[in-house]
Amino acid sequence: MDLVAGESLIKEQILEKFFIDLVAGESPIKDRATARFKHYCCSTILLFINSSFPA
């Protein structure tokens, strides 16, 4: 498996875990999953912005 395919698989597994926690988890688990998801999305957006607009 190449590096890109490996990274895609890891990202897919992370998103699956978020979804399962948000749908089937108890309230504290849902809260933590929501916080992790927001952190993950914000980090991804910031990386995209930084790579799109170099200094």
**What is d(CA 32, CA 55) in angstroms, rounded to the nearest whole number?**
34
Mean pLDDT of the chain: 78
Nearest to 19 by CA among 2, 36, 44: 36
Inter-residue contact 33 to 48 (CB < 8 Å): no
Q: How confident is the model at residue 1 (pLDDT cuts 50, 70, 90)?
A: low
Instruction: Note the pTM of the prediction, 2 decimals.
Output: 0.53
User: Domain coordinates of the chain in residue numbers?
Assistant: 3-52
Over residues 5-33, mean pLDDT: 84
- The per-residue DSSP string of the chain comes to --HHHHHHHHHHHHHHHHHHHHHHS-HHHHHHHHHHHHHHHHHHHHHHHHHHS--
